[in-house]
Amino acid sequence: MDLSLIIMQLLSGIALGAVLVITALGLTIVFGMLGVVNFAHGAMFMIGAYAGLYLASLTGSFWWGLLLAPILIGAFGMLIEFVLIRRLYGRSIDDPLLLTFGLSYVLVEGVRILFGSDGIPFPTPSQLIGVVDLGVGFFPRYRIFVIVMVAAVLVLLWLMLEKTRIGLIVRAGARDPVIMQVLGVDIGRVWLAIFGLGVALAALGGVLAGPMRSVNPEMGSLVLAEAFVVTVIGGLGSIPGAVVAGLLVGISISMVALVAPEMATIVMFALMAAVLLIRPQGLFNVRGRVA
Amino acid sequence: MTAQSNRAAATKSVFGALDRFGDQRVLLSIAILIALPWLLPSQALAVNVLIYGVVVMGYNLLFGYTGLLSFGQAAFFGCGAYVTGIAIGRYGMPWFAAVASAVVVSTILAAVIGVISTRTRGIYFSMVTLALAQLVYYVALQASSFTGGENGLRGFTVDRISLFGLQINFLDPLNKYYVLMVFAAAALWFQSRILNSPFGAVIEAIRENEQRARACGYDVERSKLLVFMLSGSISALGGCMLALHLSIVPLDILHYQTSGMIVMMVLLGGARSFFGPFVGAAAFLILEDVISLWTPHWQIFVGAIFILFVLFLPKGIWGTLLETLPIARPRR
Q: What is the 3-state secondary structure (H, E, C) of A105-134?
A: HHHHHHHHHHHCCCCECCCCCHHHCCEEEC
Report the SS3 class of residue B91.
coil
pLDDT for res A291? 37
Q: Which of residues 303-332 of B touch A (CB under 8 A)?
A: 303-304, 306-307, 310-311, 314
Q: Which of residues 21-80 of B touch A (CB under 8 A)?
A: 69
Q: Quick check: B326 pLDDT over 70? A: no
pLDDT for res A113? 94
What mean pLDDT, rounded, does chain A reach? 90
CA distances from B42 to A100, B46, B177, B288 (A): 33, 7, 12, 14
Q: Report which DSSP code applies to A139.
A: E
Is B246 within the bounds of a domain? yes
Q: Report which DSSP code applies to A288.
A: T
- Rounded Cα distance between A11 and A13, Å, is 5
CB pairs under 8 A between A and B: 120
Is B4 within the bounds of a domain? no
Tally the domains of chain B.
1
Is B169 within the bounds of a domain? yes
Name the pLDDT band for B13 (thresholds 50, 70, 90).
very low
Closest chain A residue to B131 measured between Cα atoms?
A: A225
Closest chain B residue to A103 measured between Cα atoms?
A: B303
Q: Report which DSSP code applies to A90.
A: T
Top-confidence residue, B160 or B22 = B160
pLDDT for res A289? 44
- Rounded Cα distance between B313 and B317, Å, is 8
pLDDT for res B6? 53
pLDDT for res B323? 78
Rounded to 5, what percent of chain B is helix, strand, coil?
Answer: 80, 5, 20
Any CB–CB contact under 8 A between B137 and chain A? no
pLDDT for res B20? 42
Is A260 within the bounds of a domain? no
pLDDT for res A10? 92
- Cβ-contact A18, A150 below 8 angstroms: yes
Q: Quick check: B238 pLDDT over 50? A: yes
Q: What are phi and psi of A182, to 5 degrees?
A: -60, -40
The string of DSSP codes covering B219-288 is -HHHHHHHHHHHHHHHHHHHHHHHHHHHSSB-GGGGSHHHHHHHHHHHHHH-TT-SSHHHHHHHHHHHHH
pLDDT for res A198? 96
Q: Nearest by CB to A291, which of B121, B256, B260?
A: B121
pLDDT single digits (tens) B169-185: 888 888 889 999 999 99
Residues of A in contact with B119 (CB under 8 A): 276-277, 280
pLDDT for res B157? 82
Q: Quick check: A110 pLDDT over 60? A: yes
Domain assignment of residue A94, given as a range: 13-217
Name the pLDDT band for B239 (thresholds 50, 70, 90).
very high
Q: What amino acid occupies position A78?
A: M
Q: Quick check: B17 pLDDT over 90? A: no
Is A223 within the bounds of a domain? no
Top-confidence residue, B104 or A283 = B104
Any CB–CB contact under 8 A between B248 and chain A? no
Report the SS3 class of residue B153.
strand
Is B14 within the bounds of a domain? no
Interstrand relation of B160-163 and A131-133 (parallel, antiparallel or unpaired) = unpaired
Closest chain A residue to B305 measured between Cα atoms?
A: A102
Top-confidence residue, A284 or B80 = B80
Q: Report which DSSP code applies to B55.
A: H
CB atoms within 10 A of CB B212: 11
- Rounded Cα distance between B201 and B332, Å, is 9
Q: Nearest by CB to A102, which of B139, B255, B306?
A: B306
Closest chain A residue to B137 measured between Cα atoms?
A: A266
In this structure, of A3-7, A102-106, A198-202, the range with the lowest mean pLDDT score is: A3-7
pLDDT for res A176? 83
Is A174 within the bounds of a domain? yes
Is B277 within the bounds of a domain? yes
Q: Quick check: A262 pLDDT over 90? A: no
pLDDT single digits (tens) B220-230: 999 999 999 99
Q: Quick check: A290 pLDDT over 60? A: no
* H-state helical runs in chain A: 3-34, 41-59, 62-83, 94-115, 141-163, 165-175, 177-182, 187-209, 219-234, 239-259, 264-278
Is A277 within the bounds of a domain? no
Is A211 within the bounds of a domain? yes
- Rounded Cα distance between B222 and B114, Å, is 10
pLDDT for res A131? 86
pLDDT single digits (tens) B271-302: 988 999 999 999 999 999 999 998 889 999 99
Name the pLDDT band for B1 (thresholds 50, 70, 90).
very low
Please report, for the domain that includes residue B292, its CATH number: 1.10.3470
Residues of B in contact with A263 (CB under 8 A): 142
Q: Report which DSSP code applies to B296.
A: S
The string of DSSP codes covering A203-226 is HHHHHHHGGGS-B-TTHHHHHHHH
What is the least distance, in Å, from the CA of B37 to any CA of chain A? 30
pLDDT single digits (tens) A194-227: 999 999 999 999 999 999 888 999 999 889 999 9
- Rounded Cα distance between B183 and B329, Å, is 26
Is B323 within the bounds of a domain? yes
Residues of A in contact with B69 (CB under 8 A): 94, 97-98
What is the least distance, in Å, from the CA of B176 to any CA of chain A? 32
- Cβ-contact B81, B212 below 8 angstroms: no
pLDDT for res B21? 52
Is B280 within the bounds of a domain? yes
Q: Specify the pTM.
A: 0.89
Q: Quick check: A285 pLDDT over 90? A: no
Closest chain B residue to A264 measured between Cα atoms?
A: B138
pLDDT for res A236? 83
For residue A160, give every residue at least 6 positions away whose Cβ sits within 8 Å of its Cβ, in sequence order, or none. Answer: A166, A167
What is the least distance, in Å, from the CA of A175 to any CA of chain B? 18
CB atoms within 10 A of CB B113: 24
Name the pLDDT band for A127 (thresholds 50, 70, 90).
confident
Alpha-carbon torsion (B3, B7, B8, B13), positive or negative: positive
pLDDT for res B101? 97
What is the least distance, in Å, from the CA of B240 to any CA of chain A? 26
CB contact under 8 A, A105 and B300: yes
- Rounded Cα distance between B190 and B265, Å, is 21
Tally the domains of chain A.
1
Rounded to a whole number, what is the largest CA-CA distance in chain B? 76
Rounded to a whole number, what is the largest CA-CA distance in chain A? 62
CB contact under 8 A, B139 and A266: yes
Q: Quick check: B123 pLDDT over 90? A: no
Q: At what angle do helices A219-234 and A94-115 cross, to 10 degrees?
A: 150
What is the least distance, in Å, from the CA of B321 to any CA of chain A? 21
CB contact under 8 A, B255 and A109: no
Is B2 within the bounds of a domain? no
**Residue A47: half-sphere exposure toward Cβ, Cα within 13 Å:** 26
Domain assignment of residue B102, given as a range: 24-328
Any CB–CB contact under 8 A between B121 and chain A? yes
pLDDT cut 90: percent of chain A above it:
57
